[in-house]
Chain A
């Protein structure tokens, strides 16, 4: 069973850079592309990064994604209070008929 593991929490002060990881049980996590979602309290998730490091229109360039081997990372630079949210990584697992796998989520707090 393919698993994506994220740290439960991360934090920083306004203006800081925060980085957190997403580790997979595969040697090439970026093969099918890692996507990142932001979920603000009480709202639906929002696509933040797709295909490892690409941003949809409207997503600030403060958010950057990267992958290396079995790990992916999301970095938030110039941290703002409105960035306080849960962040989920996700990718495709081609086992059986294929399915989408989500990480457990990282809660980012702005101190």
Chain B
């Protein structure tokens, strides 16, 4: 069973950092991109970026460049999203998602989501 299991909810203060993990289960993650997508309460989906599971190459949405770091740990098949300088409007559910083998920007396996709340 191919699945992504994310870490639990986090509450952070403005200006702090948060690190969300995404554990891959199953053997179908080699040569894939793990993407991160967020959804603010009552809002739509917003792409943050991706990390390649073999090369570690990354690509970030312009909005998040300089504030987000995506990594992949091959030894344990886990992805991480590190978001710094948190603001109130970073409060959202953060999802990791794997691309399909055929289409790089279509995501066929999703994590369950991690709620990040930024509150003073």
* A positions within 8 Å CB-CB of B: 32-33, 35, 37, 44-47, 50-51, 56, 86, 88, 90-92, 96-105
Contacts and interface: CB of A to CB of B under 8 A. Distances in A.
B111 to A, nearest CB: 7
A90 B105 contact: yes
A92 B104 contact: yes
A20 to B, nearest CB: 15
Interface residues of B, number: 24
B61 interface: yes
Contacts, number: 69
A102 B45 contact: yes
Interface of B: 35, 37, 44-47, 49, 59, 61-62, 95, 97, 100, 102-108, 110-113
B45 A92 contact: no
